[in-house]
Amino acid sequence: MSKIVEVNVNSEIGELEGVILHTPGSEVANMTPENAERALYSDILNLDIARTEYKQLSGVLGEICNTYQVKDLLEKVLSNPEYKEKVIDRVSKMEPEINKKGNTYRLKDFLLDQPAEDLARLLIEGVPIHRDSLTSFLNDERYSLRPLHNFFFTRDASMSVRNSVLIGKMANAVRDRESLIMQSIFDFTPEFKANTVNVIDTPDFDPNAKIEGGDVLIARDDILVIGNGTRTSTQGIDFILAQLLTQKEDRKRHILVQELPSHPESFIHLDMVFTLLDRDKCMVYEPLILKPNKYQTVRITIENGKVLEIRNENNLLDALKKLGMDLKPINCGGSQDPWNMEREQWHSGANFFCVGPGKVVGYGRNVHTVEEMNKNGFEIIRANDVIRHKKELKDYDKYLITIDGSELPRGGGGARCMTMPVRRKDINW
């Protein structure tokens, strides 16, 4: 990476110019049925199949824009001795285990001694316990630093919002190192031009503040849509609100907050029930987004550093229409059978990633959703046909690129979850 990348993301649908990915590695395989729940999985994944499916996603995106791999970026940061020490100091503060002294072994010293390539791998894939004492020998744990099982969902740990990068405050401590790594990448990679914002760095940090990227969508440069559920708290949303208030812009900006159910686990983030597809289209899980239910939609309007109004709205699409975004909903699972809707939402059927207006990527396994997309003008193109140049994307105005999804969806996310955009072209609304 040598070219300067100025972070710029003002919408969900602008033409994609740069994205950060993380190909699943041994950290995914380093999981057992016993620790899967702690790792936030409901099942263990077959790494070989997951990587094959992921290769379709990364291959397609490589045809479209610049792609950057987390491990490569981290390795470059760690190759600088000054930054290496700063990263390990950050890890030490976050994970006290790193400073514990054994009989002959100290984890921090071990990490400092590792070359950049090995250290990057260890910080992601985990550091096995050094069993040089009876206590460590009898320890049931396998790792001193646990693997980051969820890191291929790069969306959650950091979010590009306009020209800044908001660092996620994860709802589960098992994922905290993901945020630390992403912040270090943006802080210490000279080619990335962006200001990082992290709630834990503020003097009045509220430990109840949780923010994950799957809940933060940029509908338009003046509209954020944020899910409030198990992964993003009201305190986290208030932190985002406070950041907007400090900007004191002389135009109105809006935060639309959508409450989410606490269960089942498929409702983990807003982008599991609502994603943008085009200037005038969106994907919805109809029972939650459009049908009457107990989950509130709230609009917050701010201007010149002040909150002008907080009010309830009928639903998310109605709120967006009032703000000039009249979106046609396309139903996850089709529009006929609630069972199909429920089944396909479970496997990330609403989780689409835009590479441009009307140009999206998603799982092909959700056949009723794919059919509904086709009915609404999207050409269906297989990922491998793009990679092998059997189909040229320039020949199509609107399309859905389908990636295989027998294994990846079982991790609990889709194409949007697995992508962290750093640059998009602005939309001429």
Q: Report d(CA 144, CA 67) in Å as an integer.
A: 31
Q: Report d(CA 112, CA 124) in Å as an integer.
A: 15
State residue 101's pLDDT score.
58
- pLDDT of 102 above 60: no
Place 43 in a pLDDT band, splitting at 50, 70 and 90. low
The arithmetic mean of pLDDT across residues 118-136, rounded, is 87
State residue 38's pLDDT score.
55
User: Taking the alpha carbons of 203, 209, 211, 217 in that order, is the dihedral positive or negative?
Assistant: negative
The arithmetic mean of pLDDT across residues 76-104, rounded, is 83
State residue 70's pLDDT score.
98
The arithmetic mean of pLDDT across residues 181-198, rounded, is 96
Name residue, tokens 């514990």. Answer: 100
Q: Report d(CA 178, CA 183) in Å as an integer.
A: 9
- pLDDT of 341 above 90: yes
Percent of the chain with pLDDT over 70: 94
Q: Which residue type, as a one-letter code, is found at position 204? A: D
Average pLDDT, the chain: 92
Single pTM value for the model: 0.94
Cβ 38 vs Cβ 166: under 8 Å: no
Side-chain half-sphere exposure of 305, counting CA atoms within 13 A: 3
Most confident of 20-29, 57-66, 98-107: 57-66
- Phi first, then psi, for residue 141 (nearest 5°) are -70, 150
- pLDDT of 120 above 50: yes
- pLDDT of 39 above 60: no
Which of residues 269 and 109 earns the better pLDDT score? 269
- pLDDT of 391 above 90: yes
User: Taking the alpha carbons of 296, 271, 154, 53 in that order, is the dihedral positive or negative?
Assistant: positive
State residue 140's pLDDT score.
77
- pLDDT of 36 above 60: no
What are the chain's domains? 5-75+148-424 (3.75.10.10), 76-145 (no CATH)
Q: Which residue type, as a one-letter code, is found at position 196? A: T
State residue 104's pLDDT score.
47
Cβ 426 vs Cβ 220: under 8 Å: no
The arithmetic mean of pLDDT across residues 164-192, rounded, is 95
Name residue, tokens 């699409």. Answer: 317
Cβ 319 vs Cβ 296: under 8 Å: no
Angle at 172 between CA 171 and CA 176, to 5 degrees: 95
State residue 411's pLDDT score.
83
- pLDDT of 403 above 70: yes
Place 103 in a pLDDT band, splitting at 50, 70 and 90. very low
* Among the ranges given (34-48, 85-99, 223-237, 345-359), the one the predictor scored with the smallest mean pLDDT: 34-48
State residue 99's pLDDT score.
65
Place 372 in a pLDDT band, splitting at 50, 70 and 90. very high
Q: Kindly state the tokens that stand for 273.
A: 């029930």
Q: Report d(CA 321, CA 387) in Å as an integer.
A: 37
The arithmetic mean of pLDDT across residues 371-395, rounded, is 97
State residue 29's pLDDT score.
83
| Coil/strand/helix, residue 204 | coil
Q: Which residue type, as a one-letter code, is found at position 398? A: K
- Phi first, then psi, for residue 413 (nearest 5°) are -170, 170
- pLDDT of 170 above 60: yes
